[in-house]
Amino acid sequence: MMEVIGQLGDGVLMSLQPLNLALILIGVTLGLFIGAMPGLGSVNGVAILLPITFLVPPGSAIIFLAAIYYGAMYGGAISSITLGIPGASTAVATTFDGRPLAMQGKARLALVTAAIASFIGGTVANVLFTGFAPLLASVALSFGPPEIFALMLLAFATFVGLGGDDIPKTIFSICIGLVFAAVGFDEISGAPRLIFGDISGFLHGINFLVLAIGVYGIGEMLWTIDSTRGKITSTETKMSVKGAVEDAKYGMKKSWKGTTIGSFLGFFVGILPAAGATPGSLMAYGVSKLTSKTPEEFGKGHPEGVAAPEAANNSASTGSMLPMLTLGIPGSPTTAILLGGMVIWGLTPGPRLFTDQPEFVWGLIGSFYVSNFFALVVNLSFIPLFIWVLRMPFTILAAMIFVLSVVGGYAATRDMHDVWLMLGFGVGAYFLRKLDYPLAPAVLAIVLGPIAEPTLRQSLLLSSGDPSIFFTRPIAGPITVIAIVLILLPLLKVMFTKSKGNKPKDDGETLA
Amino acid sequence: MRRAEFITAGILALLSIYLMWKSTELEIGYVSDEGPGGGAWPFWLAAIMLICTGVIAYNAIKKTSPPSQSKEPLLDGYGKKMLLLVGGGIFGFIALIDILSMYGAMFVFLIYYLKVLGRHTWRLTLTIAVLTPIIFFFFFEALMRITMPKGLPFLEPVFNYLNTIIY
Amino acid sequence: MKTTKRAFMGLLGATALAASAVSSVAHAWEPTKPIDFVIMAGAGGGADQIARFIQSVAEKGKMTPRPLIPNNKGGGSGAEALIALNNARDPDHTILVTLNSFFTTPLRQPNLGIDINTFTPVAMMGVDPFVLWVHKDRNINTFEDWQAAVKEADGEWVMGGTGKGQEDSLVTTWLEQNYDLKIKYIPYKGGGAVAKDLAGQQIMSSVNNPSEAKGFFENGDVVPLVSFSDERLPLVSEVPTVKELDKDFSYYNQRAVVGAPGMSDEAAAYYQDLFKKIYDSEEWQGYMASESLSPLWMDAAAQKEYWQTQVDRHKELLEKMGE
């Protein structure tokens, strides 16, 4: 253990060298803005800046990229809160409470809470990473397709609790998201699937961002203009250091539990190569709501609803570095590109990286700590700017959101087909929103579907079609059982209350 | 809104049936020793969607869902006008991209939205409409290296010139 | 407003013309806008890694006046990329990094209307060999032992790969047919995921590129049994080739660059020259060595011929698969 701390210390010192520190500051700032731009995420930042890193030594290069990665993780929450558009799938859950808080004039509270929760999540993940990386790598290896599917089932179980009161509409929303996720290509049989009208734009499937930007950037905006008759009075949020400190205290007091849950849950889901940060943030939100004393406040602007997913997605994103470094398996497109970068620099990620290249590994981990800290500082110092954005006259803000939506929708896949599709989703979402269809489940389902379906079918191939594989394996079994109980619980509750003749509450306001 | 609830449920039911039909292009059954075929996942999920639309319509008959209790129309006069002006504006924006390039279309859209819908001053409108495409151009093309659509060939000399600046 | 704008545009146009006139003294043709560098795979896969490596070599050596912009179009087993090239608005600025799906996808999906002979050959950068791997805990050390083990498992031997009709599945099918084996084949999203699930013993063996299994091989988790290359591979030099053992068979994944149909001869010459430079660079030679790619340079004419032999070859392999 002492040895680890010594190596880590060297790593941190390495990050604090003037060149590296400058790169970290530039990296987190750039990352913050890239992450805050709907349609762009850490993957863009990391991919595009890769060639630039040839100007500096490999050690500094990877530190720079890690800094961009951290900055972008923090940035994701910003567009969720200020614009109401999740810039990445990991930030969808942040909109559930972040957006209502912003609309109530508590954007500063939401932003400060998100930043601090992100920092805690990142720190917890870094500590776990430092202490147990090789051990955790073997845990990740023991997760095969049945285990991942069981985990997805668990993520879906938290959905049921997330949906509104209208169960059929919620189920409809989940299913349509899952069907959209199946568009494009069937990995198992290797055949094109659901290519509507033989349009080649569907060959690459329906990108999450296209649906998310359509639903939130266009649909939700149209609904907001309509329901407020275009007279949106953004309530005042002033920026003062004193106020921000109070917000930080209040936010953390309200949400320390969600932050803790998010930090640990996010990390453990994040280290599994196939899963990634989205199910982690979603499950953190669900579990926080389940264990909260005031679950009814979730979805209406509870700081814990911001803190839990933010802590989880930062923690998970750090965690997803683990399979990349120790197994050579990228857990997300971003780590895939980082992996490519390492190959370019002549490093072989995999089980031997920790022993063969300790300087590199500990330099990188040290830079995680330093980047995480500076990302917090940079993020907090830009909050006044983001609040200023919210105070713009609505006719300017709306125009900018539409422009960002169109540009972001194009940048996601660089295909005009997807921009049109996004507009279609937006208009469809507007009508469905008016009729109280919850749409967040569809947006999340399109992310989880491509993980759930192949792992389900791979598992059944493994077992020759016998579904008991999900119950008999030592890790998959318990997860599956918990997931099924969680799915059935609310359904039973609803049936029970219905049979007692309780009419549904007249409360159509739910997530979405 | 009750009528809208019915009509929407009907449209979504048709969509579900279409998705089911489209899924049958691949095997939708359970292949022995292999598990579900390639079309099974979307087919059965679309079937659940169809059932849901049935329940939604039933709830609308029994007036148990909030929208089916509401007497308001789905789209009142304001809603229609808004959808036409704002939704139509975005439609125009996207349609112009292939002609005027992303940046040109953005310029036109911002003028439309800020001046016609927002009734802002010309000074403010033009400042934002000119600066936004310029900032976006440098951010995407130079910094992020993401190329946006460049419109019809008549714009080519302009972008070729700009390229000599940024690269 | 209008006149000034027109005048301004005219000025811009004139400047651009002047600029291109100046540069035309040095070169016959040079890209005037960013080059759309289409990749026939999603972000993070083996092909993507190679494309990004090539891009970084060009960037590092400042070889192009306009950058190569990677554009992942992996949809439909590469169909999306082929369609993008076919419909390229500006063929002089659109090139594609290909795998063998360049041959198989048009064969498997004839309704796409892709004729690869219309594409412009640019460069063959090397070929990626395949090796049969097994987990060390199986205690299998030779190809013969492996065959015996598969036969004993009687249809319950599980192999992973990247999907039906993909390169490794063709090799797996070849193994089944030529050694009378019955294998259960599980498709995964990418070769990296296959290698990981082999190391975690979720599957029993795999046909992987050496670059994908390298980390686990060096750590001793997986054991190579036989390679499907013409000659022994430097990374696993003690492993025999299937040719040495008994059958005359080899199979590689191509890593080649092609231009869009309708590319002008000048532009094609430019790219051929550019990729020759990249191929000869120290970085690319080093990359091929470390990632166990087999060097195989081909000029444009040789490539056209190679395409024809590969199309015939894949037609045959796919037919045997029952596609």
CA distance to A199, C13, C20, C21, per residue, from C28 (Å): 38, 20, 11, 10
Distance between CA A46 and CA A107 in Å, rounded?
29
Q: In degrees rounded to 5, what are phi and psi of residue C96?
A: -135, 135
- State percent of chain A over pLDDT 70: 91
Domain boundaries, position A104: 2-499
Looking at residue C166, the DSSP 8-state letter turns out to be S
**First-residue to last-residue Cα distance in chain C:** 63
Chain B residues within an 8 Å CB radius of C36: 147
Asked if B167 has any chain C CB less than 8 Å from its own CB, the reply is: yes
- Our CA dihedral for A261, A263, A265, A271, rounded to 10 degrees, sits at 180
Low-confidence winner among A187-191, A271-275, A383-387 (lowest mean pLDDT)? A271-275
Q: How confident is the model at residue A51 (pLDDT cuts 50, 70, 90)?
A: low
Contact between B164 and C12 using a beta-carbon 8 Å cutoff: no
At the second CATH level, the architecture of C34-128+252-321 is: 3-Layer(aba) Sandwich (3.40)
Angle between helices A18-36 and A42-49 (to 10 degrees): 130
Chain B residues within an 8 Å CB radius of C8: none
pLDDT for res A501 = 45
Chain B residues within an 8 Å CB radius of C17: 157
Chain B residues within an 8 Å CB radius of C15: 161
Query: How many Cβ pairs closer than 8 A exist between chain A and C?
Result: 149
* Beta-strand runs (E) in chain C: 35-39, 68-72, 94-98, 120-129, 131-135, 157-161, 183-187, 205-208, 222-227, 252-259
Chain C (16-75) residues lying within 8 Å, Cβ to Cβ, of chain A? 42-45, 48-49, 52-53, 55-56, 59-60, 67, 70-71, 73-75
Q: Residue A185 is encoded by which pair of tokens?
A: 């290509």
Convert the pLDDT of each residue in A464-484 to its tens digit. Answer: 888 999 999 999 999 999 999
Residue A383 DSSP SS3? helix
**First-residue to last-residue Cα distance in chain A:** 47
CA distance to C59, C66, C271, per residue, from A55 (Å): 11, 18, 25
Compute the radius of gyration of chain B from its Cα atoms.
Answer: 24
Contact between C33 and B163 using a beta-carbon 8 Å cutoff: yes
What average pLDDT score do residues B22-26 get?
A: 94
Helical (H) or strand (E) element with C121:
strand C120-129
Distance between CA C70 and CA A481 in Å, rounded?
44
Chain B residues within an 8 Å CB radius of C66: 163, 167
CB C228 within 8 A of CB C98: no
Residue among C70, C71, C186 minimizing CB distance to A458: C186
Is residue A512, in this structure, part of any structural domain at all? no
Subunits next to B (3 or more Cβ pairs <8 Å) are: A, C
Convert the pLDDT of each residue in A377-432 to its tens digit. Answer: 999 999 999 888 888 888 899 999 999 999 999 998 889 999 999 999 999 999 99
Half-sphere exposure of C125 (CA within 13 A, CB side): 31
b or e along B60-81 (b: 16 or more beta carbons within 10 Å of the residue's beta carbon)? beeeebbbbebeeebbeeebee
Chain C residues within an 8 Å CB radius of A190: 77, 108, 163-166, 187
Distance between CA A154 and CA A172 in Å, rounded?
19
Convert the pLDDT of each residue in B63-84 to its tens digit. Answer: 888 888 887 888 888 999 999 9
Contact between C49 and A351 using a beta-carbon 8 Å cutoff: no
Instruction: Please say if the pLDDT value at position A133 is more than 90.
Output: no
Is residue A511, in this structure, part of any structural domain at all? no
Substitution target in C197, C203, C283 with the highest count of A β-carbons within 10 Å is: C197
Kindly tell me the burial class for residue A240, based on how many C-beta atoms sit within 10 Å of its own C-beta (0-12, 13-18, 19 or more). exposed
Q: A366 versus C15: which is more confidently predicted? A: A366
Instruction: Please say if the pLDDT value at position A305 is more than 80.
Output: yes
Q: Residue A452 is encoded by which pair of tokens?
A: 């759930």
Q: In degrees rounded to 5, what are phi and psi of residue B102?
A: -55, -40
Asked if B21 has any chain A CB less than 8 Å from its own CB, the reply is: no
Amino acid at A311: A
Chain C: residue whose CA lies nearest to A201: C80
Angle between helices A58-78 and A2-15 (to 10 degrees): 80
Distance between CA A179 and CA A197 in Å, rounded?
16
Q: Name residue C71's beta-bridge partners.
A: C38
Domain ranges of chain C: 34-128+252-321, 131-245
Residue A54 DSSP SS3? helix
Compute the radius of gyration of chain C from its Cα atoms.
Answer: 22
With tokens 């979402």, the residue in question is A429
CB C46 within 8 A of CB C209: yes
Longest dimension (CA), chain B: 70
Contact between C192 and A54 using a beta-carbon 8 Å cutoff: no
Chain A residues within an 8 Å CB radius of B132: 400, 403
CB B32 within 8 A of CB A400: no
Contact between A328 and C291 using a beta-carbon 8 Å cutoff: no
Compute the radius of gyration of chain A from its Cα atoms.
Answer: 22
Residue among A168, A176, A420 minimizing CB distance to B94: A420
Cβ-based neighbours of A50, under 8 Å, separated by 6 or more: A65, A337, A340, A341, A344, C52, C56
Amino acid at A217: G
**ipTM field:** 0.95
Please give the tally of structural domains in chain A: 1
Cβ-based neighbours of A496, under 8 Å, separated by 6 or more: none
pLDDT for res A101 = 92
Kindly tell me the burial class for residue A81, based on how many C-beta atoms sit within 10 Å of its own C-beta (0-12, 13-18, 19 or more). buried
Distance between CA C99 and CA A381 in Å, rounded?
47
Each residue's pLDDT, cut to its tens digit, for chain C (323 residues) gives 444 444 444 444 444 444 444 444 455 899 999 999 999 887 766 788 888 889 888 888 889 999 898 888 887 788 889 999 999 989 999 999 999 999 999 998 888 889 999 999 999 999 999 999 999 999 999 999 999 999 999 889 999 998 888 899 999 999 999 999 999 999 988 888 898 899 999 999 999 999 888 889 988 999 999 999 999 999 999 999 999 998 999 999 999 999 999 999 999 999 999 999 999 999 899 999 988 899 988 888 899 999 999 999 999 999 988 76
Distance between CA B43 and CA A195 in Å, rounded?
14
Convert the pLDDT of each residue in A339-354 to its tens digit. Answer: 777 877 777 788 888 8
CB C36 within 8 A of CB C69: yes
Q: Residue B139 is encoded by which pair of tokens?
A: 């951010």
Is residue A507, in this structure, part of any structural domain at all? no
Contact between A178 and B91 using a beta-carbon 8 Å cutoff: no
Chain C: residue whose CA lies nearest to B145: C69
Q: A88 versus C260: which is more confidently predicted? A: C260
Is residue A508, in this structure, part of any structural domain at all? no
Chain B (85-144) residues lying within 8 Å, Cβ to Cβ, of chain C? 141
Subunits next to C (3 or more Cβ pairs <8 Å) are: A, B
**First-residue to last-residue Cα distance in chain B:** 56
Distance between CA C197 and CA A461 in Å, rounded?
15
Is residue A509, in this structure, part of any structural domain at all? no
Contact between C9 and B158 using a beta-carbon 8 Å cutoff: yes
Cβ-based neighbours of C91, under 8 Å, separated by 6 or more: C120, C259, C260, C261, C262, C263, C264, C267
Chain A residues within an 8 Å CB radius of C193: 273-274, 329
Is residue A268, in this structure, part of any structural domain at all? yes
What one-character-per-residue DSSP string does A305-335 give? HHHHHHHHHHHHHHHTHHHHHHHS--SSHHH
Q: How confident is the model at residue A43 (pLDDT cuts 50, 70, 90)?
A: confident
Contact between A353 and C70 using a beta-carbon 8 Å cutoff: no
- The three-point CA angle A276-A83-A225 to 5° equals 130
Contact between C77 and A190 using a beta-carbon 8 Å cutoff: yes
Q: B99 versus A491: which is more confidently predicted? A: B99
CB A147 within 8 A of CB A476: yes
What average pLDDT score do residues A55-76 get?
A: 85
Q: How confident is the model at residue A58 (pLDDT cuts 50, 70, 90)?
A: confident
Chain C: residue whose CA lies nearest to A200: C80
Query: How many Cβ pairs closer than 8 A exist between chain A and B?
Result: 195
Contact between B167 and C65 using a beta-carbon 8 Å cutoff: yes
Contact between C13 and B158 using a beta-carbon 8 Å cutoff: yes
Instruction: Please say if the pLDDT value at position B57 is more than 90.
Output: yes
- Kind of pairing between the strands at C35-39 and C94-98: parallel
* Domain C131-245 falls under CATH 1.20.58.340: no
Provide the phi-psi class of C136: left if phi over 0, else alpha when psi is between -120 and 50, else beta: alpha
With tokens 């845990």, the residue in question is A139
Q: Name residue C256's beta-bridge partners.
A: C98, C124
Chain A (184-243) residues lying within 8 Å, Cβ to Cβ, of chain B? 186, 188-189, 191, 193-194, 196, 218, 222, 225-226, 229-230
CB B29 within 8 A of CB B40: yes
Residue among B23, B41, B144 minimizing CB distance to A44: B144
Substitution target in B160, B162, B165, B166 with the highest count of C β-carbons within 10 Å is: B160
Residue among C60, C67, C80 minimizing CB distance to A203: C80
Give the closest residue to A218 by CA, choosing from A493, A10, A425, A70.
Answer: A425
Helical (H) or strand (E) element with C135:
strand C131-135
Instruction: Please say if the pLDDT value at position A197 is more than 70.
Output: yes
pLDDT for res C323 = 65
